[in-house]
C-alpha cells in the first residue's frame, strides 16, 4: 500500500511540474497594445540583453517556486508514509521523559532531514540568483544564513510544538482554539523582537549615514504624523543587487530601513517616493488590517487543520503510521496540512496585500506629486530584480504581494498631479 501511495504522489508531483513548465514557459507575458511604447513597456527602459534575462530569470524562478512548494508537501508525506516520523518519535521518547526535551529531539531529527533533502533545491535557487547577478553572496555567507535560519526556526518550533501538543493532549476537541488564543501574544512578541534580535543575526543595521537624506525622510514622517526619530540602513550589497526598503517592528522597536543597494542605485527623489509609500501603510493603518487578517486566517486555518487531521487519521492513520493526533509522529501531517492551506489561501492574502500596496502608491503620489521619480524608481526596481512587468496570472495570484510593475507604472501614468 505504501509503495502504491508513494508512486501516486510522485506521478502527481511530476504532473504538477509538467503543467507549470508548460504554463510558465509558453504563457503570453506581452503587454497590451495600449501600453506598448509607454513608460510601462520594458523595451523602453531595458536593453535587449536585460529583456531576455528578465524573461528567462522570471520563468525559471517562478517554476522553482511552484516546484519547491510541491516538493515540501511530498517530503512531509513520505516521512509519514515510510514511518520515519514514528522512528523519530521513538528516539525522542527514549532520550527523556520531559515533553519539551522529546519535542526538541524530534524536531531536530525532522528539521535535519528536511534540511538535507531540500538542500539541492535551495542550492539550485541560490545558484540561479548568482548566475543572473541578482545575488552577490558568497557560498560561505549563504550557508551561514541557512544555518542561522535552521537554528532560529528550530528554536521557535520547539516552543510552538511543545505548547501545541500539550494543548492537543489536554483538550483533544478544542486544542485548535486554545492554540489560536496563545498565538496572538506570540505573534506580537515576535513582531517586537524581530528588528532588534532576529534581523541583526543576518545583517548589520546602523543609522543612515546620509544625514541630509535622513532629514528629508523624517520631514515626510512628520507630515504624516509618524513618530520616527531615526532611519536605518542595512548592508545588503554584499548579498544582493536587488533593491528594497521597509518598515518593521511595532512600538518602541519599529524601524524605517533602507537597503544600501537602494541608497547606492536610486536618486534621492526616487528614495523619497519609496519612503512615502512605506509611510502610506502607516497612515492607512495597514498594520492593523494585517493583524486582523492574520487573526482571521489563523483562526480559520487552525480550525480546518484540526478537522482535516482528525478525518485523515481516522481514515488513513494506519497507512501513515499515525496512531493518534496527540502523538508527535503526527507533526508532519500538521505541517503538510497547514502548508497546503497557506498555499491555497495565498491568492486571497496576496489580493488584499496588492490592494494595500496600491493604496500606499497612491498616498506617495498625493504626498510628493512626483510622477517622473515614481516611474523611474519602478523601472529601476524592474531592472535590479530582473522582474517581469506583466507576469502570468497564476504567478500574480500566488506570488505577487505587490501589484505588477505594469499596474504600478500605469497607475502613476494615470495620476493627475495637483497644482501647488
Annotated binding site for Zn(2+): 277, 281, 357
Residue in 72, 214, 361, 407 annotated catalytic:
361
Do residues 167 and 159 touch, judged by C-beta distance below 8 A?
no
Pairing of strands 245-248, 205-207: unpaired
* Active-site annotation holds for 204: no
**Nine-digit cell string for 46:** 531595458
Q: Does the annotation count 361 as an active-site position?
A: yes
Q: What DSSP line would sit under 6-58, residue for residue?
A: HHHHHHHHHHHHHHHHHHHHHS--PPPGGGTTSTT-GGGTS-HHHHHHHHHHH
Helix (H, G, I), strand (E, B) or coil at 246: strand
Which of 74, 290, 369, 326 lies closest to 176, judged by CA?
A: 326
Buried b (16+ CB within 10 A) or exposed e, 334-363: bbbbbebbeeeebeeebeebbebbbbbbbb
Q: How far apart are CA 186 and CA 161, in angstroms?
A: 13
C-alpha cell at 194: 524581530
Rounded CA-CA distance 10/394 in Å is: 23
Q: Which residues contact 11 (CB under 8 A, 6 or more apart)?
A: none
The rounded distance, in Å, linking the Cα atoms of 71 and 6 is 13
* Alpha carbons 242 and 134: distance in angstroms, whole number: 6
Q: Strands 255-259, 231-234: parallel, antiparallel or unpaired by DSSP?
A: parallel
Half-sphere exposure of 131 (CA within 13 A, CB side): 11
From 89, 233, 260, 278, the catalytic residue: 278
Q: Sheet of 205-207: strands edge to edge?
A: 205-207, 231-234, 255-259, 245-248
Helices (H), 171-285: 175-193, 211-223, 260-265, 268-283
Q: Which DSSP helix (H) or strand (E) runs through 64?
A: helix 48-81
Which residues are part of the catalytic machinery? Answer: 278, 361
Amino acid at each position: 500500500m505504501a509503495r502504491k501511495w508513494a508512486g501516486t504522489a510522485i506521478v502527481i508531483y511530476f504532473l504538477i511540474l509538467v503543467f507549470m513548465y508548460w504554463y510558465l514557459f509558453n504563457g503570453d507575458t506581452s503587454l497590451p497594445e495600449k501600453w506598448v511604447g509607454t513608460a510601462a513597456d520594458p523595451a523602453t527602459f531595458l536593453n535587449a540583453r536585460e529583456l531576455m534575462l528578465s524573461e528567462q530569470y522570471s520563468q525559471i524562478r517562478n517554476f522553482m517556486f511552484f516546484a519547491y512548494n510541491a516538493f515540501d508537501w511530498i517530503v512531509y508525506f513520505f516521512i509519514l508514509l515510510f514511518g520515519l516520523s514514528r522512528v523519530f518519535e521513538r528516539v525522542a521518547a527514549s532520550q527523556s521523559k520531559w515533553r519539551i526535551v522529546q519535542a526538541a529531539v524530534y524536531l531536530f531529527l525532522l528539521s535535519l532531514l528536511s534540511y538535507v533533502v531540500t538542500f539541492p533545491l535551495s542550492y539550485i535557487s541560490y545558484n540561479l540568483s548568482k548566475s543572473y547577478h541578482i545575488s552577490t553572496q558568497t557560498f560561505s555567507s549563504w550557508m551561514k544564513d541557512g544555518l542561522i535560519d535552521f537554528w532560529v526556526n528550530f528554536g521557535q518550533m520547539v516552543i510552538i510544538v511543545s505548547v501545541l501538543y500539550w494543548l492537543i493532549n489536554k483538550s483533544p476537541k478544542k486544542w485548535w482554539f486554545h492554540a489560536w488564543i496563545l498565538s496572538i501574544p506570540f505573534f506580537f512578541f515576535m513582531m517586537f523582537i524581530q528588528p532588534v534580535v532576529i534581523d541583526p543575526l543576518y545583517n548589520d543595521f546602523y543609522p543612515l549615514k546620509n544625514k541630509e537624506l535622513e532629514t528629508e525622510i523624517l520631514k515626510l514622517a512628520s507630515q504624516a504624523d509618524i513618530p520616527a526619530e531615526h532611519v536605518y540602513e542595512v548592508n545588503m550589497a554584499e548579498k544582493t543587487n536587488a533593491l528594497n526598503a521597509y518598515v518593521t517592528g511595532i512600538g518602541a522597536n519599529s524601524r524605517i530601513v533602507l537597503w544600501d543597494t537602494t541608497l547606492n542605485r536610486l536618486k534621492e527623489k526616487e528614495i523619497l517616493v519609496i519612503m512615502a509609500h512605506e509611510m502610506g501603510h502607516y497612515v492607512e493603518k495597514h498594520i492593523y488590517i494585517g493583524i486582523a487578517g492574520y487573526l482571521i486566517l489563523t483562526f480559520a486555518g487552525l480550525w480546518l487543520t484540526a478537522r482535516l487531521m482528525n478525518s485523515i487519521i481516522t481514515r488513513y492513520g494506519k497507512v501513515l503510521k499515525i496512531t493518534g493526533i496527540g502523538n508527535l509522529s503526527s507533526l508532519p501531517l500538521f505541517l503538510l496540512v497547514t502548508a497546503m492551506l497557506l498555499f491555497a489561501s495565498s491568492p486571497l492574502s496576496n489580493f488584499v496585500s496588492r490592494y494595500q500596496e496600491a493604496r500606499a502608491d497612491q498616498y506617495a503620489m498625493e504626498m510628493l506629486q512626483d510622477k517622473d521619480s515614481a516611474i523611474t524608481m519602478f523601472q529601476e526596481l524592474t531592472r535590479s530584480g530582473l522582474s517581469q512587468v506583466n507576469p502570468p496570472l497564476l504567478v500574480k495570484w500566488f506570488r505577487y504581494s505587490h501589484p505588477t510593475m505594469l499596474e504600478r507604472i500605469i497607475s502613476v501614468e494615470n495620476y493627475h498631479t495637483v497644482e501647488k
